Chains A and B, each alone.
Chain A
Amino acid sequence: MDHLWVDICAVTDIPQRGARNVAGIKGPIAIFRTGDDQVFALIDRCPHKQGPLSMGIVHGASVTCPLHGRNVDLATGQLMGADAGQGCAPRINLRVVNGRVELAAEALR
């Protein structure tokens, strides 16, 4: 099934090993860019205590929540390590076209 895609920003608008957020239909969406220029989008809420994941430190393909240091796998949204299986930040469909990040329209206001 093809999505309706909405252009959000250039990949380079997001700092490497960083994130930016954008308003979504269910609250903010965090868009992450890894050190290897992979891009991921998750609902910007840590499964632990709803911390803003977009403000965490990005390392490898994971992010450390700024509130209590939980690690979240960017590709799956799942908590990692000892907390694995205890919750997940929902993924948002995303694609990169010619260096631009596009999100599935249904996730956006």
Chain B
Amino acid sequence: MTNQARERLIVIGNGMAGCRAVEEVLKRDPDRYEIVIFGAEPHVNYNRIMLSPVLAGEKKFQDIILNDEAWYADNGITLHTSCMVTSIDTVSRIVFACGGVVEKYDKLILATGSDAVRLPLPGANLNGVITFRDLADVESMVQASTAGGARAVIIGGGLLGLEAAYGLARRGMKATVVHLLDILMERQVDASASHLLTEALKERGVETILGGQSEEIVGCDGKVTALRLKDGRILPCDILVMAVGIRPSVQLAKTSNLGVGRGIIVDDTMRTSDPNVFAVGECAEHRGQCYGLVAPIWDMCRALADTLTSGDGAYAGSVVSTRLKVSGVDVFSAGRFAGGEGCEDIVYRDAGRGVYKRIVLEKGKIAGAVLFGDAVDGSWYFDLMRAGADISELRETLVFGQAATEGLRGLDPSAAVAAMADEAEVCGCNGICKGAITTAITTKKLTNLDSVRAVTKASASCGSCTPLVEKLLKLTAGDAVQERTGPKPMCPCTHHGHGLVRKRIVEERLQSIPAVMQALEWTTPDGCASCRPALNYYLLCAWPGLYRDDAQSRFVNERVHANIQKDGTYSVIPRMWGGMTSSKELRAIADVVDRFDIPAVKVTGGQRIDLLGVQKEQLPAVWAELNAAGMVSGHAYGKALRTVKTCVGSEWCRFGTQDSTGLGIKLERLLWGSWTPAKVKLAVSGCPRNCAESTCKDIGVICVDSGYEIHIGGAAGLHIKGTELLTKVRGERDAMELIAAILQLYREEGFYLERVYKWMDRVGIASIAARVVDDAVERANLFERFMEAQRFSQDDPWAERAAGHDASEFQGLGAPLRVAAE
């Protein structure tokens, strides 16, 4: 065949898509076309996705070349490098490029890729502001890193931004990633994996600022010096990398009057609106979808090559998966990793190895997965997902990966366990194989799960192999097996009980909910409505002043500081110290009731006044007026100190032995604002006639001539229980120190929602007395810890919100702004 007879195929774009398309065509029909490629960069074709390792110094440019000059020569391909195509005449089928290059075509492929998005921030044109797209960008980053102690700020915590940051940190720069959202790589991973990622990056010298809004790039003499955030923070830097996304490069297609949406629109044959023009890769838009990953590009190139050689190919879209290329940080993500309608999660965490796996199932098939720390099975899950394989039979072992699952496939669970080899690993966390477990069961005559755990450590960490260990126990010990005992798990999200969770929060200095969930191997991505409020309280109690309260993990009442009622309105109860009030307070309450048209006013059992039926939007204004009259939140809505009920005592009563009202007020002033495992009610009675009903309160004081009796563990609600006498003290100061110490012990030991009387039943009054009555040093320490915690809790939540804190919680979203017709 002569050159004249061959059709001319021109490819605009010398990148991964353009060259792969050519390779696929050559593979099918090497002699069909005379091929010309235009490249805007001065290089031969290289593997763009490997630029990150080049930046990190882990690879050299030579290592990532895909097609060297010989390839172009051997295949008779004409390559125009550094040559921008300026226009296409689709009628005469001619391409015009810089430097007067003109080429005629029969078939034309657009593989123009994409451009990095540049944020239109003030200062975006300064020297040193770069994107991360091609080799030239990498070269300028490498150059900047050669100055000692240089700093880099990277805007964008997506895949590319993190790889850029890691690469720069590897080259000795101090790198800080600023990400607009609270989750890194939010398009690929969930909050749990993002938490681990943040930690892993920190270990590798990359700092992250989440929820950071960039406002201005600051410069000096035309060169970047810092990034200023909306919250006023200034981040000094020598280079600023914008890695906020890519946009299909469509300018040429647009000026050539080809159909363009977000990308160049192609049909299933990869044809654009012109029958002789095709598009592949990141510049193409297929069925409304543009892709920025490599696997779909390969799929497109195959379909395009079919079209160009043997009749129409059929590209049906791609399912994508992602891996992060940061050494030692394995992240894999595919499909609907965040779950959704009708989906079910299998979550596995191994705190020891820093592993988090989440597999999302839908109708017995894998719909998506996110893996952190151990991503070797990513491609296996991805294959199962793409094949739409029914995995219901593999479900039990799926999360342990291919090796564990394939060994057991097709057998019924017990037979499968029996068939496992003795060397097969059962407990991945502790590296225990089947043989070690069965031997221990036989030789040590173990009959329950806890003893197997104690002896072998199998299933003692994350517990996800518990069903497997239980089956082994059943198989080996037979009828001797005892039912499982031990502490009840906090909730279905975890295998651990409250006590262990509290202990490990303190011992391992866990200071956030995601940190607890990872370290204790939670089985759900973000907990549930029972464990989240509990964890929030435990963290608040363990780390006063350090832990940032998570409003979204609080029950509505504690979030809006009022009590929700059956109709969605709220009740408001201001604090009345020791049950005392005044004409000024009563007048202010009356005025508030009138002004806001509050439908009901009720005297409570705790000696206070309840305003019922307040609308949520009204709350801050109601509080502002009550604040103005000197009243603060009564915490009637919280797992917190409620009331200190008093009688009139020696001030007025002919039987009163001490100033019970005065002590009640002092106690309430000391204790208010404190968060506790469950609600806490106190009372102080002036004599044993007990008019303040002290003997059915969590902590009750009964005044006698010789001092103060301290009673604890009463209740008069769901359960009725009289208090027990703990001790008697001489003076008011002693009573106050002791009560604060009791409350602190309860705060530190109580399980969430466990009232004082239940806590007392669990630990025994003797154990409480030993620490707060008999041991003066322990009592003083508890008192001191209580006072330290109070430093951070005695701000009136009403005053804060009346002043505008958390306004959107109360105002909602307001009126819709604009109508977007489509």
**Chain A: residues with CB nearer than 8 A to chain B?**
2-9, 12-13, 15-18, 20-23, 28, 31, 34-38, 49-52, 55-61, 64, 66-67, 69, 71, 73, 75-76, 97, 102-103, 105, 108
Report A-chain residues with C-beta under 8 Å of the C-beta of B34.
Answer: none
Q: CA–CA, A71 to B527, complex, Å?
A: 13
Interface pair B552/A56, CB less than 8 Å apart = no
Report B-chain residues with C-beta under 8 Å of the C-beta of A4.
Answer: 819-822
List B666-695 residues whose CB lies under 8 Å from chain A.
Answer: none
Task: Report how many A-B pairs have Cβ atoms within 8 Å.
Answer: 128
Interface pair B186/A37, CB less than 8 Å apart = yes
Report B-chain residues with C-beta under 8 Å of the C-beta of A12.
Answer: 180-181
Interface pair A61/B556, CB less than 8 Å apart = no
Q: Which residue of A lies closest to B814 (CB)?
A: A22
Q: Which residue of B lies closest to A45 (CB)?
A: B568
Q: Among A2, A57, A60, which residue has its beta carbon within 8 angstroms of that of B552?
A: A57
Q: CA–CA, A59 to B557, complex, Å?
A: 17
Q: Among B182, B342, B345, B551, which residue has its beta carbon within 8 angstroms of that of A76?
A: B342
Q: From known contacts A13-B813, A15-B551, infer whether A75 and B341 are also in contact, taking CB-CB under 8 Å.
A: yes
13 pairs across A/B with beta carbons < 8 Å? A6-B820, A17-B552, A21-B812, A31-B813, A35-B525, A36-B186, A50-B568, A52-B568, A57-B532, A61-B338, A66-B557, A75-B341, A97-B820
Interface pair B820/A75, CB less than 8 Å apart = no
Q: CA–CA, A22 to B553, complex, Å?
A: 22
Q: CA–CA, A76 to B342, complex, Å?
A: 8
Interface pair A66/B345, CB less than 8 Å apart = no
Q: CA–CA, A25 to B146, complex, Å?
A: 62
Q: From known contacts A8-B813, A15-B552, A76-B341, infer whether A37 and B566 are also in contact, taking CB-CB under 8 Å.
A: no
Report B-chain residues with C-beta under 8 Å of the C-beta of A55.
Answer: 556, 559-560, 564, 568
Interface pair B808/A56, CB less than 8 Å apart = no
Q: What does DSSP make chain B's interface, helix, strand, loop or mixed?
A: loop
Q: Is B595 an interface residue (CB 8 A)?
A: no
Interface pair B341/A73, CB less than 8 Å apart = yes
Q: Is B526 an interface residue (CB 8 A)?
A: yes
Q: CA–CA, A34 to B191, complex, Å?
A: 10
Q: From known contacts A17-B552, A51-B568, A75-B341, infer whether A37 and B817 are also in contact, taking CB-CB under 8 Å.
A: no
Q: CA–CA, A52 to B568, complex, Å?
A: 6
Q: Among B341, B342, B568, B816, which residue has its beta carbon within 8 angstroms of that of A22?
A: B816
Q: CA–CA, A60 to B522, complex, Å?
A: 13
Q: Which residue of B lies closest to A22 (CB)?
A: B813
Interface pair A7/B817, CB less than 8 Å apart = yes
Given contacts A9-B813, A36-B183, A71-B529, 4 further A-B contacts (CB under 8 A): A13-B813, A22-B816, A55-B559, A58-B552
Interface pair A56/B524, CB less than 8 Å apart = no
Q: Is B435 an interface residue (CB 8 A)?
A: no
Q: From known contacts A37-B181, A66-B556, A66-B564, infer whether A59 and B340 are also in contact, taking CB-CB under 8 Å.
A: no
Report B-chain residues with C-beta under 8 Å of the C-beta of A38.
Answer: 338, 340
Q: Which residue of A lies closest to B190 (CB)?
A: A36
In the complex, how many angstroms separate the beta carbon of A86 from the nearest chain B beta carbon? Answer: 17
Q: Which 9 A-B pairs have the closest CB atoms?
A: A75-B341, A64-B529, A36-B338, A17-B552, A55-B556, A57-B529, A66-B556, A35-B526, A35-B191
Q: Is B346 an interface residue (CB 8 A)?
A: no
Report B-chain residues with C-beta under 8 Å of the C-beta of A2.
Answer: 822
Q: CA–CA, A17 to B816, complex, Å?
A: 22
Q: Is B555 an interface residue (CB 8 A)?
A: yes
In the complex, how many angstroms separate the beta carbon of B325 from the nearest chain A beta carbon? Answer: 23
Q: CA–CA, A20 to B527, complex, Å?
A: 21
Q: Which residue of A lies closest to B822 (CB)?
A: A2
Q: CA–CA, A105 to B817, complex, Å?
A: 12
Report A-chain residues with C-beta under 8 Å of the C-beta of B552.
Answer: 15-18, 57-58
Q: From known contacts A5-B820, A35-B526, A56-B529, infer whether A16 and B182 are also in contact, taking CB-CB under 8 Å.
A: yes
Q: Among A18, A20, A49, A67, which residue has its beta carbon within 8 angstroms of that of B813?
A: A20
Report B-chain residues with C-beta under 8 Å of the C-beta of A18.
Answer: 551-552
Interface pair A61/B339, CB less than 8 Å apart = yes
Q: From known contacts A20-B808, A37-B183, A102-B820, infer whether A49 and B342 are also in contact, taking CB-CB under 8 Å.
A: no
